Chain A
C-alpha cells in the first residue's frame, strides 16, 4: 500500500487503490505448461497474490513506444510499453522476446556480464540470463504506484533500482530479493537516472531540482545544489571526470568537479531531453519532437530528426551511427549511412 505522508508530492494522492483481481489472461494460457513452470519457478512473488501476466507477442512490437536500450555483447535489447522486449544482433532485424512475465511499461534495461535486468511501471523488475530471449520476474508491486526509472548493477549480485516517488530498491543477491532504501528522507521526488564513476562515486539526476550525489558508492547521499530547478531526466559521464545532467526544456548542465559547481550549456533547444550517450568524442542527447543535440569540440548543434517523434534513449552502433528508441520504435542517427554529420 502506498504511503500517505504530507511530504508526498502534489501529484501523488493517498488514494485507496482497489486493484481488484487481475486474472490470468488467455494469452498467458497460450504459453501453456512452460508458463506454468515459470510461474511456479518464480513463486517468490506468490505472496503478493497476483498472477503473472505475459507480454503479448505482436508484429508491431518493434514499432511501439520503446523507452530504453542496452547492449549485451553484439546484441541490442530494447524495452518499452506493454512489457515489450525486443532484441537484434544487427539493429535492423528485431525479434520480440517470447517470454516476458509482465505487461507493465518497461522504462529501463541494464546489462552486465551475461545478465540483463529491466524495470518499469508497477515497480516491476525482470531479469534474463539468455541475452533477452526469456525473462523471469523478480519484483512486482503495482500497489506502490511507483515506477522503476533506472537500474544499475556493479556485479552479478549487487545492484540498485531507482524510480518515481523516491523509489530506491537494492539487492545483494542478483535481484532475488530487493530491499527498500531511501536517498532523501525529507522528499520523495522522482529519481530518474543514476551514474557511477569508476571509483564508486555516484550521482542521481532527479525531479524539480532534486538531484543527489554519493561519495561512498551509494551508502549515503547528499542533495546537489543546481543552478536550474527544472527536472533532470538523465545523466551521462564524459571524460575529464565530468558529468552532464539533461532534462526539461533543453536544459543541460555540466559539472567537472563532482557537483561542486555547475555550468549551464547553451543548447538553443526548448525540447526536453530524455536520453544521452558519450561515444567516440561525441556527446549525443536526444529528446522530444525529434530533437537530437550533438556536442563536438564543445559546440552544441541541434538537429531535428525527420521522424519527428519523442526519443527516450540512444546507444552507439557501428560506423559512427547511433540507434535511438522512442515513439514508433527504433530510429537511427544519422538517418542515412552516407549522411556523415547530420545535416
Chain B
C-alpha cells in the first residue's frame, strides 16, 4: 500500500466518521450505557488458585491432595491478655463467648472447632492401669484460684501448651476449619462474610486488657478485599491529578473534559467487556483500568495538540509560525473544528495504532507465563488497549469536531507568544545533541547500566517479608501472624512433601515408615527448617504413651500390631495421613519464606529422594481385609515410596518462585524482540532501532536494580511490571524518534531538529510521562503491598523512560546516526553540485 493510498483511505474514513458524527456519537452513547450495565455485574474477587502456576510439578501434587489435606483452610482466633495471664474470670468469660461465636459462624465446620472450651480437647494422663482423662475445663468449673490451678495443670497434660494455649499462658486460641461448600446446600462459602464476622468478634472483645488476633485464608481474603475497596479513592485521586495536569497543558475546559471523558469511556468499555466475557476483576488487576485510563489520556493529549494546531494554526505549529517571524495571530489561518478533527485523524491514526500495538505486544508476551492471574492481566490490558483505539483515536477527534474554544483569539495569541519566547529549559535539553554532551550522557548511561546491572544481581526471587506478601508488613493481619507465631509455637510458613506409598503402609510396612521418618529428620537438619511433623513422629510419641509415657519407648514399632495400636487414634483430619494411609504429608515448617530458604529445602528434598529411594518393595499383605481378597499370602511388588513436592504456602511459593524466575528472562527477551522487530519494520533502520531500544534496556535494568535496593522481590505481582512498563515506555521513544527523523530528513540540523521535536513532541512526552506516573503512583498509598510495589515500579519506569527518551535518545542519535546522516547530506550536495 502506498503512502498516497493510505492517506486516501484515512481521509475517507475520517470524512465518513465526521459526516455521520451524530450517528457515531449516539452509537457510542448506547454502547457505553450497555457497558455500564454489564460493568455493574463485574465482580471484584480473588481466587487463591489464580495465583498458582498450576502446570508446575509441585502444583500437581497440591491439586491432587487439596481435598484430602485441606486443613489449610483454617481460621485461628487468639485472645491475648495484654498485662496479665489468662487465668482471670474475665478472660475465661470472654474466651468462652469467642469460642461460641466462632462455632456459629456460617461455613465453619463445627466438629473441627477446637479450644480449651470445646469437648474435643481433652487431657490424658498415664495412670498405673492405663490412661485417664477428661475435659480441660471441668464441668464443675467455677472461676476460683483452685479451679484455675486445676485447669492450668489440665492444659499442660493435654499437650496444648503452645498450640491452643500460648507458651506463657497469656492467651488462648480457637481453631476452626472452614468448608468451601456447604455440605447440605452446596452454596459456596462467602469468604468476605466470614471475614466480616471475625472482625466483629475482634471489635467486641478487644479492649485495654485483651487483644484479639485473627489469621487464616478467609481473613486474608477479607483484608485484601477491604484494601481493594479503596480503589475508588485512588481512581478519584488519579482522575483529579490527571485533570489538573491536562488543564495546565491545554488551558481549556473542553480540551480537558473531552480526553477525560473518552478515557473514562475506555475504562467503562474495558470493564464491561470483561464482565461480558465472564471474567471478574482481581484486586491484583485493578491496576489495569488505571493504566488504560492513563494511556487513553496520553493519546488524548496527542489528539488535542494536533487538533489545536490544525484548527487554530492552519496545520503548522505555533513554533513554526514564530520562526517564520509571524507575530500577529490574525495572519495565521483558522480552520473549522471539523477540518481540525479530520486532519488530526489522518495524521495520528497510523502512529497511534502502531504505538498501541507495541503496548499490546508488551502485554501479550505475558500470556506465555503459566499463571492464570498474569494471563488475565494480559487479557484485561489488551482489551483496554483495543478499546482505546476506538475511543481515543476515533471518538475523541469526532467529539472535537464540535468544539469551539472560548475566546480563541486570546488562546492563539498566548500560544504564539509562548512559541516566540526562547525557553531556557528547552535550550538546555537541546544541548543533549552537542557532541560532548551526547558523549557525557551516553557515558553516564553506560555507568548507570553497569551499576544497575551489578545491583540487579541482588534482586531476590519471591518474597521475604513476614506474613502475607499481599498485605503490607505493618498491616494488622501480618502483625497478628507475627504475634501468634511468637506466642504459640505455631509455624506459619509450611512446605509439605507428600510421601506416597502402598495402601496401609503406615501400619503394615515398617520400612516405609522408617524411611519417611529418616527423610523428615534429614530435612529437620537443613538450615532454615524450624520443625518437621510427620505421622511416624506422632506414632513414636503415641507408642511411648502406650508404654506408660516412657521416653525410652519413643520408637517406631517394627510389630504391625503395635503400630496399628499406636496409630489407631490418629484421624485423617490431623492432616498427617489420608484415608487408606497411602499418602502421608511431611509437614516442614520453615523459619521464613525467603527464596534461598525455600530453594535450600527444595534442593535437599530432591537430593534425599534420590538417596532414599527404596525402589520396589516386596509388600507383604497380612492385613485381614486384604487377606480375604487375596487367597493365601501373596507378595505384591509395587513402587513403595515416592516423595512428592509440594503443598503448603511455602510449597506454593517454591513452585511460583521457580516459574517466575524461569519466565523472567524469556519474557524480557520476547518483549525486546518484538519491539525491535516493530521498530525495524517501521523505520527500516538498525541504528534508529538501537537508539530507541537502548534507553529501554537501561531503564529495565535500573528497575531491577531498584527492586534489589528496595527489597521488592520478583514475584507474580512484579513480574508483569517490566513488560508493561517497557511496552508503554517505548511509545515515547517512537514519538520522539519519529519526529526527529522526519525533521532531519527535511534537512534541518540535528540541533534544530531536536529543538523542534522537543517543543512539540517532547512537551507531550513529558506530559504523558507525568500523567502515567500519576495514574499508577497513587497506588503507593494502597493498603495492599503488591499494589504499592507495582505502583512504585511502574511510576519509576514511566518517568525513567520519559527521561531516557528526551536525553539519552537524542544523544544516541548524535553519536550513531547523525555522522552518517551528515555524510549522506554532504554526498548529496556534492552530487547536486556536479549536476
Contacts and interface: CB of A to CB of B under 8 A. Distances in A.
A274 B550 CA distance: 8
A25 B511 CA distance: 12
B575 to A, nearest CB: 23
B555 A121 contact: yes
Nearest to B615: A23
Nearest to B553: A147
A4 interface: no
Interface in A205-261: 229-231, 233, 248-249
B551 A312 contact: yes
A56 B518 contact: yes
B256 to A, nearest CB: 68
B449 to A, nearest CB: 43
Nearest to A81: B554
Contacts of B518: 56, 82, 103
Given A13-B561, A22-B511, A107 B552 contact: yes
A326 B551 CA distance: 8
A11 B128 CA distance: 15
Given A17-B559, A18-B620, A22-B511, A67 B551 contact: yes
A3 to B, nearest CB: 13
A179 interface: no
Nearest to B619: A20
A145 to B, nearest CB: 6
A140 to B, nearest CB: 13
B562 to A, nearest CB: 7
A58 B559 contact: no
Contacts of B156: 289
If over half of A's interface residues share one DSSP class (helix, strand or loop), that class is named, otherwise mixed; here it is: loop
A20 B618 contact: yes
A60 B559 contact: no
Contacts of B681: none
A312 B550 CA distance: 9
B28 interface: no
Interface string B609-634: 00110100110101000000000000
Given A11-B546, A122-B558, A145-B558, A16 B611 contact: no
Interface residues of A, number: 48
Given A20-B511, A20-B618, A230-B128, A25 B611 contact: yes
A58 B521 contact: yes
B237 to A, nearest CB: 53
Given A15-B559, A56-B518, A56-B522, A27 B550 contact: no
A272 B550 contact: yes
B560 interface: yes
A298 interface: no
B127 interface: yes
A224 B612 CA distance: 48
A19 B622 contact: no
B525 A60 contact: yes
B549 interface: yes
Contacts of A248: 126, 128, 548
A105 B522 contact: no
Contacts of A272: 126, 548-550
B126 A65 contact: no
Nearest to A231: B548
Interface in A55-83: 56, 58-60, 64-65, 67, 81-82
Interface in B161-187: none
B524 interface: yes
Contact of B562 (A13, A27, A64, A274): A13
A19 B618 CA distance: 11
A107 B550 CA distance: 11
A46 B451 CA distance: 65
A122 B156 CA distance: 33
Interface in B512-548: 518, 521-522, 524-525, 546-548
Contacts of A59: 525
B155 to A, nearest CB: 12
Contacts of B557: 145
Interface string B586-624: 000000000000000000000000011010011010100
A288 B559 contact: no
A72 to B, nearest CB: 22
Contacts of B614: 23
Contacts of B525: 58-60
A274 B551 contact: yes
Nearest to A142: B558
A121 B555 CA distance: 8
A312 B552 contact: yes
A58 B527 CA distance: 11
B551 A19 contact: no
Contacts of B128: 229-230, 248-249
Contacts of A11: 546-547, 562
A48 B511 CA distance: 18
Interface string B119-149: 0000001111000000000000000000000
A20 B617 contact: yes
B552 A249 contact: no
A18 B622 contact: yes
Contact of B522 (A58, A65, A230): A58
A145 B563 CA distance: 13
Interface in A288-342: 288-289, 310-312, 326-327
Contacts of B561: 13, 15
B394 to A, nearest CB: 69
Nearest to A228: B128
* B127, B156, B521: most-surrounded residue (chain A CB, <10 A): B521
Contacts of B552: 67, 105, 107, 147, 149, 274, 312
Contacts of A26: 611
Contact of B559 (A27, A67, A145): A145
A155 B788 CA distance: 75
Contacts of A233: 550
A17 B521 CA distance: 26
A310 B548 CA distance: 13
A65 B562 contact: no
Nearest to B161: A308
Nearest to B554: A65
Interface in A23-41: 23, 25-27
B620 A310 contact: no
A76 B614 CA distance: 36
Contacts of B524: 60
Nearest to B511: A20
A59 B184 CA distance: 51
Interface in B559-582: 559-562
B558 A288 contact: no
Contact of B551 (A56, A142, A288): A288
B551 A17 contact: no
Contacts of A107: 552
Contacts of A19: 510, 558
Contacts of B546: 11
A228 B60 CA distance: 58
A59 B528 CA distance: 13
A141 B619 CA distance: 22
Given A15-B559, A67-B552, A249-B126, A20 B521 contact: no
A20 B620 contact: yes
Contacts of B548: 231, 248, 272
A231 B547 CA distance: 10
Contacts of A56: 518, 521-522
Closest 6 pairs between A and B when the two form their complex, measured CB to CB:
A13-B561, A58-B525, A18-B620, A310-B551, A230-B128, A107-B552
Interface of B: 125-128, 156, 510-511, 518, 521-522, 524-525, 546-555, 557-562, 611-612, 614, 617-618, 620, 622
9 contacts: A15-B560, A18-B620, A20-B510, A56-B521, A56-B522, A105-B555, A147-B553, A274-B551, A327-B551
Given A59-B525, A230-B128, A272-B548, 12 more contacts: A15-B559, A15-B561, A15-B562, A20-B620, A26-B611, A67-B552, A81-B554, A145-B558, A147-B552, A248-B128, A272-B549, A274-B551
